């Protein structure tokens, strides 16, 4: 057995409260934000000492409607107070029916989608695992195409299609059956879209195993807020169709309105074979995930995929209410796009103000990134922001992108306030 030195976590000075004597050193967010949070409302989080932090992180995209959204909170507390069923696996429940019908009538049907709903388990990785399993079963092939800097989750199947080398290394076994292809703009426009992928598919001697599926994010959140162009997504969908490859759209972080429309791929006008949703689908930060599959792909035997927490009924209740509240019309969508433009304009200002930094303004809707010249500078900015009362994290292969995922319901004032903090933190960092 290799001799490994455990991180001597307990002795670090960062632990304000004794957590680290009890918890694994694998924890990460508490290292960047070493305070103890207690309450949270809307876009504000409060520590146990009463300090307030503005939240441009939103539970990594799980709190699109804000913390403890009052409309959903009422529904949730009522549901619980009435002793309605909480844990239901895949039994029929009234809450589940309400969710299915609401999701169908307000989300799927208006968008011309006829997908069936799989409840794959409580988290996004479950949705991805289910998608991969089904694609392999349907096609009889094993191989999957993923993209550079993709993030799809940390369970073995999901990890195998994730790009980050540190996270991949954690698997402890070789991750196989996936071949990464360049994401949109990977070569800064130097190479035609899908030149490599298309050629590999068409050449019977390329050595590329025939893929069951392609798995893609429309905007790579963990990968650095890389937003694919609509035309790139359309070409990808066509390429898949041409070659009998299933298209899995991982909308876990970018769905539920993050980029404007309910689904992030609406803009591109594509109809993915399989769609993964989680994070904000419950609307309240409760663990819930669904996998949407085109009806002709729904070939599983009963119970061939399952999971203990695939039926958290209170999450169905808040999910249905969130949809009714926010997706009965296009009010929210318009607000998201407007706020997104506000950030974009602001970032353009920063790009101009610091030409020497080569900042890059990234993203769409309310998934926004400001790419710094280095991870070091990005870290200084987010650390400085935290010191000034703003929660914002980095992403990208070198953690070089300041990543903004504010609640979609954030007010314009709050947004401006947070952006001002970023300005200050950046100014201080480069001073």
Which residue shows structure tokens 């699109």? 64
Inter-residue contact 404 to 393 (CB < 8 Å): no
For a second copy, the closer of residues 255 and 396 by Cβ is 396
Sign of the four-CA dihedral 58, 59, 63, 68: negative
Q: Is 230 in the site for a second copy (CB under 8 A)?
A: no
For a second copy, the closer of residues 123 and 272 by Cβ is 123
The least CB distance from residue 55 to a second copy, in Å, is 11
CA 163 to chain centre: 15
- 52, 80, 341, 420: which one contacts a second copy (CB under 8 A)? 80
Which residue shows structure tokens 């069936």? 116
Sign of the four-CA dihedral 153, 156, 157, 160: positive
DSSP letter at 67 equals B
- 2, 11, 13, 352: which one contacts a second copy (CB under 8 A)? 2
Instruction: Kindly tell me the burial class for residue 373, based on how many C-beta atoms sit within 10 Å of its own C-beta (0-12, 13-18, 19 or more).
Output: middle
- 71, 111, 177, 430: which one contacts a second copy (CB under 8 A)? 177
For a second copy, the closer of residues 94 and 374 by Cβ is 94
Q: Is 67 in the site for a second copy (CB under 8 A)?
A: yes
The least CB distance from residue 82 to a second copy, in Å, is 7
Inter-residue contact 214 to 232 (CB < 8 Å): no
Q: Say which residues have a Cβ less than 8 Å from residue 217's Cβ, sequence separation at least 6.
A: 147, 150, 151, 152, 223, 228, 249, 250, 251, 253, 254
The least CB distance from residue 422 to a second copy, in Å, is 20
How many residues are given for the chain? 431
The least CB distance from residue 330 to a second copy, in Å, is 24
Separation between Cα atoms, residue 218 and residue 412, nearest integer Å: 25
Q: What is the three-class DSSP state of 277?
A: strand
Q: Is 77 in the site for a second copy (CB under 8 A)?
A: yes
Q: Is 355 in the site for a second copy (CB under 8 A)?
A: no
Show contacts with a second copy in window 285-304 (CB under 8 A): 285-287, 293, 295-304
Show contacts with a second copy in window 14-43 (CB under 8 A): 16-19, 22-31, 33-41
Inter-residue contact 232 to 193 (CB < 8 Å): yes
- 43, 56, 65, 162: which one contacts a second copy (CB under 8 A)? 162
Separation between Cα atoms, residue 206 and residue 192, nearest integer Å: 18
Q: Is 163 in the site for a second copy (CB under 8 A)?
A: yes
Q: Is 334 in the site for a second copy (CB under 8 A)?
A: no
| Mask for 109-148, x = binds a second copy (CB under 8 A) | -------xxxx-xxxxxx--x--xxxxxxxxx-xx--xxx
- Closest Cα partner for 396 from 220, 155, 187? 220
- 51, 52, 203, 387: which one contacts a second copy (CB under 8 A)? 203
The least CB distance from residue 337 to a second copy, in Å, is 25
Question: Hey, what are 266's tokens?
Answer: 């609406």
Separation between Cα atoms, residue 235 and residue 406, nearest integer Å: 30
- 111, 113, 167, 234: which one contacts a second copy (CB under 8 A)? 167
- 71, 113, 180, 337: which one contacts a second copy (CB under 8 A)? 180
- 43, 63, 219, 390: which one contacts a second copy (CB under 8 A)? 63
Q: Say which residues have a Cβ less than 8 Å from residue 429's Cβ, sequence separation at least 6.
A: 377, 380, 381, 384
Separation between Cα atoms, residue 114 and residue 414, nearest integer Å: 38
Q: Is 211 in the site for a second copy (CB under 8 A)?
A: no
Q: Is 374 in the site for a second copy (CB under 8 A)?
A: no
Q: Is 284 in the site for a second copy (CB under 8 A)?
A: yes
Sign of the four-CA dihedral 115, 121, 125, 131: negative
Which residue shows structure tokens 């085109």? 294
Q: Say which residues have a Cβ less than 8 Å from residue 302's Cβ, sequence separation at least 6.
A: none
Q: Is 349 in the site for a second copy (CB under 8 A)?
A: no
Q: Is 76 in the site for a second copy (CB under 8 A)?
A: yes
The least CB distance from residue 353 to a second copy, in Å, is 28
Q: Is 376 in the site for a second copy (CB under 8 A)?
A: no
- 175, 342, 360, 428: which one contacts a second copy (CB under 8 A)? 175
Question: Hey, what are 58's tokens?
Answer: 């939103």
- 43, 54, 64, 96: which one contacts a second copy (CB under 8 A)? 96
Separation between Cα atoms, residue 149 and residue 161, nearest integer Å: 10
- 71, 111, 113, 186: which one contacts a second copy (CB under 8 A)? 186
Q: Is 403 in the site for a second copy (CB under 8 A)?
A: no
- 43, 107, 178, 370: which one contacts a second copy (CB under 8 A)? 178
């Amino acid at each position: 057995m290799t001799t490994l030195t455990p991180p001597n976590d307990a002795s670090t000075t960062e632990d304000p409260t004794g957590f680290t004597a009890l918890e694994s050193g694998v924890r990460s967010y508490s290292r960047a934000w070493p305070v103890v949070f207690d309450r949270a409302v809307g876009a504000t989080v409060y520590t146990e000492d009463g300090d307030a932090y503005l939240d441009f992180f939103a539970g990594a995209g799980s709190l699109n409607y804000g913390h403890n959204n009052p409309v959903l909170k009422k529904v949730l507390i009522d549901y619980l107070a009435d002793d309605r069923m909480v844990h239901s696996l895949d039994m029929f429940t009234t809450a589940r029916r309400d969710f299915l019908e609401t999701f169908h009538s307000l989300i799927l049907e208006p968008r011309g989608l006829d997908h069936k709903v799989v409840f794959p388990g409580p988290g996004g990785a479950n949705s991805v695992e289910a998608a991969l399993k089904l694609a392999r079963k349907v096609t009889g092939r094993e191989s999957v195409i993923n993209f550079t800097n993709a993030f799809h989750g940390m369970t073995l199947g999901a990890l195998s299609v994730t790009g980050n080398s540190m996270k991949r290394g954690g698997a402890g076994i070789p991750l196989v059956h996936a071949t990464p292809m360049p994401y949109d703009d990977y070569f800064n426009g130097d190479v035609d879209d899908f030149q490599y992928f298309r050629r590999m598919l068409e050449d019977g001697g390329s050595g590329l195993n025939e893929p069951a599926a392609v798995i893609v994010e429309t905007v790579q959140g963990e990968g650095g807020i890389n937003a694919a162009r609509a035309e790139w997504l359309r070409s990808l969908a066509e390429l898949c169709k041409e070659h009998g490859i299933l298209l899995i759209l991982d909308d876990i972080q970018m769905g539920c309105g993050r980029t404007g429309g309910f689904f992030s791929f609406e803009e591109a006008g594509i109809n993915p074979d399989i769609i993964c949703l989680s994070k904000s689908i419950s609307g309240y930060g409760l663990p819930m995930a669904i996998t949407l599959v085109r009806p002709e792909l729904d070939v599983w035997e009963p119970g061939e995929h399952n999971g203990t927490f695939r039926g958290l009924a209170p999450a169905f209740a808040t999910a249905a209410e969130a949809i009714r509240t926010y997706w009965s019309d296009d009010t929210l969508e318009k607000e998201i796009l407007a706020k997104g433009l506000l950030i974009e304009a602001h970032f353009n200002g920063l790009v101009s103000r610091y030409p020497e930094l080569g900042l890059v303004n990234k993203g769409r809707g309310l998934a926004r990134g400001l790419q710094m010249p280095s991870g070091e500078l990005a870290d200084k900015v987010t650390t400085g922001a935290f010191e000034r009362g703003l929660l914002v994290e980095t992403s990208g292969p070198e953690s070089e992108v300041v990543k903004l995922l504010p609640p979609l319901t954030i007010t314009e004032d709050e947004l401006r306030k947070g952006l001002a903090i970023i300005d200050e933190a950046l100014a201080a960092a480069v001073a």
